[in-house]
């Protein structure tokens, strides 16, 4: 016998409002049933993208912003959201580094550090290819920094807003 049960979860209601913005939630509680029902997953369409995640995060001409730092630092972005940052870090001198940092308005926090740690390897380039996703809160700044004898280059692009709404590559149309 089928049973219908009300679900009063604010977290589930918030997800429905986020995934189906045209619905703005329902006027009543969600319901669950103990009957097996076939499901058609419309989540990608409801979220505004039909791209698989790996394609949605593509680097693209109109979406990617190049960066480079050698012997200094540079701010990448202070707009809140999720960012894909990819590139290479090359460190030649001993005890030198190239870093990716977040500044919260008062201090830097090194998230990733590419190093050539000892003087023994000085003069031998240590090159690292990287590809990371970072979350920047409102008020934070994503930065790159490098010592002399180090360079960090690449590009970055926003892949989602700070509320999790996906940002497709510029020029993409699912129609």
pLDDT digits (tens, 9 = 90+) for 85-143: 999 999 887 778 899 999 999 999 999 999 876 655 556 788 899 999 999 999 999 99
Cβ-count burial of 64 within 10 angstroms (0-12 exposed, 13-18 middle, 19+ buried)? Answer: middle
Three-state SS for 147? strand
Cβ-count burial of 70 within 10 angstroms (0-12 exposed, 13-18 middle, 19+ buried)? Answer: middle
Query: What is the CB-side half-sphere exposure of residue 70 using CA atoms within 13 A?
Result: 11
How many whole angstroms separate alpha carbon 64 and alpha carbon 81?
A: 15
Task: Please give the domain boundaries of the chain with CATH numbers for all domains.
Answer: 4-39 (no CATH), 54-161 (2.60.120.1010)
Residues 141-156 have pLDDT tens digits of 999 999 988 899 999 9
**Predicted TM-score (pTM) of this structure:** 0.70
Residues in the chain, total = 175
């Amino acid at each position: 016998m089928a049973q219908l049960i009300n679900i009063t979860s604010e977290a589930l209601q918030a997800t429905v409002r986020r995934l189906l913005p045209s619905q703005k939630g329902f006027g009543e509680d969600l319901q669950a049933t103990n009957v097996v029902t076939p499901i058609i997953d419309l989540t990608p369409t409801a979220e505004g993208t039909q791209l698989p995640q790996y394609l949605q995060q593509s680097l693209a001409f109109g979406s990617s912003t190049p960066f480079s730092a050698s012997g200094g630092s540079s701010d990448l972005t202070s707009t809140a959201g999720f960012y894909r940052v990819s590139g290479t870090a090359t460190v030649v001198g001993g005890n030198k580094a190239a870093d990716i940092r977040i500044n919260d308005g008062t201090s830097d926090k090194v998230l990733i550090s590419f190093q050539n740690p000892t003087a023994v390897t000085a003069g031998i380039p240590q090159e690292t290819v990287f590809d990371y996703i970072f979350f920047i809160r409102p008020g934070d700044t994503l930065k790159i920094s490098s010592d002399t004898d180090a360079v960090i280059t690449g590009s970055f692009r926003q892949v989602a807003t700070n509320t999790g709404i996906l940002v497709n590559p510029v020029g993409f149309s699912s129609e």
